[in-house]
Structure 1
Amino acid sequence: NPARIVIEITDSGCNTATYLSDYTYAINKPPTFNVIWESGCNTPPVGAGCPSNSEWIVCGYLNFTVNAHAYFYNEVPNSTFPNDDITQIAYKIDDGSWVLYPVFPPYDGAYQNYSQFISFDTNFLSDGFHTLYLRVTDDLGLQTLKDTSGIDSWTFNVFNLGSNPQLTSPPSGDVYRTSSIPVIAHLNNEVSTYPTQQVDFYLDSDPYNPLPNGTLIGSSTVKLPNNNFSISWDATSTPLGSHTITCWAYYYGCCSAYSRSDTISINLIEPSTPPPEIAVGNSYSEALIFSEDKQTISWPGEATATGYKLFRGTLNDLPNLQNDNIDSCTRYFGTNTSVDLSSDDPSATAGNLYWYLVVGYNAVGDGPAGNSRIVNSQGICSGGAGNSNPWAGVHSLLPKSMYWSASCAYNGKIYVFGGNENDGEVNTTYIYDIATDTWTQGANMPTGRYICTAVEVGGKIYVMGGRQLTASTNPVNVNECYDPATDTWTTKAAMPNAIRGHSAVGANGKIYVMGGNTGAYTDVVNIYDPSSNAWSSGPKLPAKVAYGGAVYSSSKNAIYYVGGVKSSATSSSNFVGKIFKLDLSTNSWDSGTEMTYKTAYFGIAANGDGSKIYIVGGMYWNSSANDEYSFPGIQV
């Protein structure tokens, strides 16, 4: 491309001289580029990141930026535009097609330097080695395939599928439906720099969906020495019949990878006979070791058992543990194969130890030595000789089937207000006479609602707060007073907050309303004085909580708030699990005492002077099922 250089010189007197050179020639040069790799696991080993060995392993998205530069002095004959722009950046993988990133400049030199961010998903590549190529083009059509350091290709090893898990248990075919079915995955072809960290097991997954799906029946983060991950599956609530089990193995780190196992098919069936005896030890000395006082006791699982019962007795009772002996009771009843016995104190028994006998049970019945007696949180048997069931049977039924009613005991009768019937609030008042085992109906509440509270003070019952479904989905701040003597209702001063799921208790002529859900779970305490029909504020609870319970202890002059949940979330940490004491003499709360079982949504009552609190039923977090379950026991 011939060209001449023109030099024009002007002095201070505006005299100009022009010099014209001989013909010279411009040399057009191709563009240049370099690559900036995004920091992280996919950075080449020569840079920061991982892995640290010489093999470049890539998973997920590979991200990088190409910085391109066009030669400033390039020229095109008869062109009126500068010829120093980048017009295209491209990449390809292996022998595939070029993926183009065109640049559309008004050819004015604005794109002499140009940067292009590139990101591609390696999940579309097979696992193994692949090569990346780059190409930069300028407006003369000149191209570059090497970066400034002379590299023209980059080879990497794609690792997206993770290890190859194989289900080895249970075997395909008939499987007994029990509370502890072992499910085991063995790992094959693991990459040492990407060890599997978790295996999730699913029931009835879609075989055509590569992503984890189905019903999660358990997860394991513990790799056993034989390269296995395992869970114990409680299948007691799973329908009988045909099912499939599949697992996914995961690596979580600076990269992530997962892989799916083959599917096994099983047929859940019920055992046809009770479980056999579960023997621990073949001699007196072995039995002694098993039975001595300890923190935790464990026993082998039985394939046909749905669950287990652990009976406790003294040395003298050992031959009669399966009978109705007064010191024989079920110390544990559940699906685990171990139990914490730290609360048992055998120091006063013969030999300073308790004896324990484990029995399995299933839908057919108990195994050898079974009975059905329970123990409370202090290790005391309920019932005894001739009284294996202290509950007195079914009494006269409530006239209406409903739930979340408010109830209050007064003067030999139990008053039940409102509730939820068929997803709608009711305003009924039902009165149960304990002496005659009969129900009558009182005057209806002015406001139908449920999840409200009922407290008796001075011979009158105050029903506060609650929720409505048909009129409103929000809580209400209604405060209505029922007079049992006249069977009439009176509306009182409204609550400071519309609320549901709260607790209320009478103490020293006043009503304390604590916690609850106002749209958010609260720690507020409001105090109602029936004598002045006025509200005031009390000391806040130590936690924001709802659906617990409260009682007043006259012997302690204190209010106890028990249990509950922190929010509507479903998790183990959502259960408060404490009993908080409000000392009315100092008007202050303590930091709380741990409950034996963290429960909520229970029934609660105290004895005459409030020296004992009874927490009946409710919901608790079942860690083996990883879900909320009904709690069948009584805590004292």
Structure 2
Amino acid sequence: KNKTYQDVHNKAFIYDVTLNKWQSITPVPIETPINGLTGRLASVATSIKNKAYIFGGYTVAKDHSEISVSDVYSYDVINASYQKLAAMPVPVDDSVALPYDNRYIYLVSGWHNDGNVNLVQLYDIETDTWQQASPFPGKPVFGQAGGNVGNTLVICDGVRVDVHINKRRSYAAEASCYLGKIDKKKPSKIAWQLLPHPTGKSRYRMAAVGIDSYQKIVFIGGSDNPYNFNGIGYNGQASSPDNGVWIYDIKTHGWQVKTMSNATMDHRGLLFLDDQLLTIGGMGKNQQVLQTINQHGNINDYL
């Protein structure tokens, strides 16, 4: 809650929806602690059937040095057990993990140690192998958000790195959205195209999810001022959460822009359960770390 390097941990918890109850589970493993550090920030996760898949993240040392971790684990929620999987070819954090066809997981762009990468790394859960998919066409970013409905992906925003003459590089919000179509016969092939941005104003670390039954991809929250893990912007200004809701319609190829009653930021993913949009934790006003399951309303409230 203090948002310092000492607060980073690898604790893990599971929530039983039926019992409305949290319980602790075995901490997320790390194959080789980095300088004694086991906790990491900005890991990404997704699920296929009864398993959660956890990718990467980065460790933060006392001197604020950050190292991207290549570890990948699955967690079987039925058997309550982790399994180490093939490591990422290029370790990334603050990426997006999107599942497809109950077999593949796409990691789109993200940060690798010293800078962003434009890679789309494709993991096959059946063969425990990686391959490179068609690269991300936009400026490489971290803290972007995305979702998919079937073989259609939408990725929005994040933070790019700008380089300058005779001064240090800087971080800048990137307001851009891209649509990708996965080739159904060759999953490593993605046909990318630029999408109109819903607002023209970037948001960082939104929560997003694709909803097959509604043929929509929903983005919520985030902040218009990119920041480090303490919630203070790279520009030195405190960051505030946003209450925006963006909905991309797969059928009409159009956006709806709405607002919700609560504003949150610092998310990894958006959950969709019984038509409800949910996030877990994140940050609220004044960069306060949240310990709640945040309810963002019924999807039908926005349609």
Query: Which TM-score band applies after superposition, normalised by the shorter structure?
Result: 0.7 to 0.9
* One-letter amino acid of the structure 2 residue matched with residue 395 of structure 1: I
1:480 is matched with: 121
1:427 is matched with: 70
* One-letter amino acid of the structure 1 residue matched with residue 105 of structure 2: I
Within 5 A, what are the aligned runs for 1:65-104?
none
1:606 is matched with: 271
1:462 to 106, 109, 115: 106
Give 1:403 shift.
2.0
1:417 is matched with: 55
Contact 1:545 1:566 in 2 (8 A): yes
1:584 and 2:250 aligned: yes
**Which secondary structure does the structure 2 equivalent of 1:607 belong to?**
strand
Give 1:394 shift.
0.4
2:21 is matched with: 391
Q: What is the percent sequence identity of the aligned residues? A: 21
| Residues in 2 aligned to 1:437 and 1:489: alpha-carbon distance in whole angstroms | 25
1:130 is matched with: none
- Relative to structure 2, which stretch is displaced further, 499-508 or 537-546? 537-546
Contact 1:418 1:449 in 2 (8 A): yes
Within 5 A, what are the aligned runs for 1:465-544?
465-469=109-113, 472=114, 474-496=115-137, 497-519=139-161, 520-531=172-183, 532-542=189-199, 543-544=201-202
Contact 1:463 1:479 in 2 (8 A): yes
1:618 is matched with: 282
Q: Gaps (5+ residues) in structure 1?
A: 1-236, 238-382, 623-627
Give 1:518 shift.
1.6
Within 5 A, what are the aligned runs for 1:177-196?
none
Give 1:411 shift.
2.2
| Residues in 2 aligned to 1:588 and 1:523: alpha-carbon distance in whole angstroms | 17
Q: Which has the higher contact order (CA 8 A, sep 6+)?
A: 2
Q: Gaps (5+ residues) in structure 2?
A: 3-16, 31-38, 61-65, 162-171, 184-188, 227-232, 296-303
| Residues in 1 aligned to 2:258 and 2:47: alpha-carbon distance in whole angstroms | 28
Contact 1:571 1:621 in 2 (8 A): no
Q: What TM-score do you get using the length of structure 2 for normalisation?
A: 0.73
Deviations 1:75-105 (A, max 9, x none): xxxxxxxxxxxxxxxxxxxxxxxxxxxxxxx
Give 1:468 shift.
2.1
1:348 is matched with: none
| Residues in 1 aligned to 2:242 and 2:129: alpha-carbon distance in whole angstroms | 38
Within 5 A, what are the aligned runs for 1:193-592?
390-400=20-30, 401-422=39-60, 423-458=66-101, 459-469=103-113, 472=114, 474-496=115-137, 497-519=139-161, 520-531=172-183, 532-542=189-199, 543-568=201-226, 569=233, 570-571=237-238, 574-592=240-258
- From the CA coordinates, give the structure whose radius of gyration is larger: 1
Give 1:539 shift.
2.5
Contact 1:465 1:478 in 2 (8 A): yes
**Which secondary structure does the structure 1 equivalent of 2:154 belong to?**
strand
Give 1:607 shift.
3.3
Deviations 1:174-225 (A, max 9, x none): xxxxxxxxxxxxxxxxxxxxxxxxxxxxxxxxxxxxxxxxxxxxxxxxxxxx
| Residues in 2 aligned to 1:590 and 1:605: alpha-carbon distance in whole angstroms | 17
Contact 1:426 1:448 in 2 (8 A): yes
**Which secondary structure does the structure 1 equivalent of 2:142 belong to?**
coil
Give 1:588 shift.
1.7
Give 1:608 shift.
5.5
| Residues in 1 aligned to 2:58 and 2:210: alpha-carbon distance in whole angstroms | 27
| Residues in 2 aligned to 1:475 and 1:437: alpha-carbon distance in whole angstroms | 34
Deviations 1:543-594 (A, max 9, x none): 311111111223332111100011233446x432211222222222223223
The alignment covers a number of residue pairs equal to: 240
| Residues in 2 aligned to 1:539 and 1:597: alpha-carbon distance in whole angstroms | 26
Deviations 1:59-80 (A, max 9, x none): xxxxxxxxxxxxxxxxxxxxxx
Contact 1:515 1:541 in 2 (8 A): no
**Which secondary structure does the structure 1 equivalent of 2:242 belong to?**
coil
**Which secondary structure does the structure 2 equivalent of 1:500 belong to?**
coil
